[in-house]
């Protein structure tokens, strides 16, 4: 598939929503400045503006996993109500 150089839209596919041309939210983890670390930057772009809180928590959890944090099968990020 061929992409336009300035967009993430494949050539021949019309994007009728210009707001999706740039990320609404960017989560970025820059490389740790130490000689023993791998020189890798992790970036997650959230393009939609109307994600639910649960969807955003899922994005945050995926970002943490990409950074190297692990979760047990019984663990997850969530919003908890104080009672």
pLDDT tens, position by position, 56-73: 999 999 999 998 899 999
Note the pLDDT tens digit of each residue in 12-65: 555 566 666 788 999 999 887 777 777 788 999 998 888 999 999 999 999 999
Instruction: Categorise residue 30: left if φ over 0, alpha if ψ from -120 to 50, beta otherwise.
Output: beta
pTM: 0.66
Q: Which two tokens stand for residue 69?
A: 């944090």
């Amino acid at each position: 598939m061929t992409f336009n150089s300035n967009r993430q839209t494949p050539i021949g596919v019309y994007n009728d929503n210009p707001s999706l041309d740039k990320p609404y939210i960017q989560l970025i983890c820059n490389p740790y400045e130490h000689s023993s670390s791998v020189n890798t930057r992790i970036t997650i772009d959230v393009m939609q503006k109307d994600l639910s809180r649960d969807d955003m928590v899922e994005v945050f959890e995926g970002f943490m996993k990409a950074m190297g944090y692990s979760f047990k099968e019984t663990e997850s990020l969530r919003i908890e109500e104080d009672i």
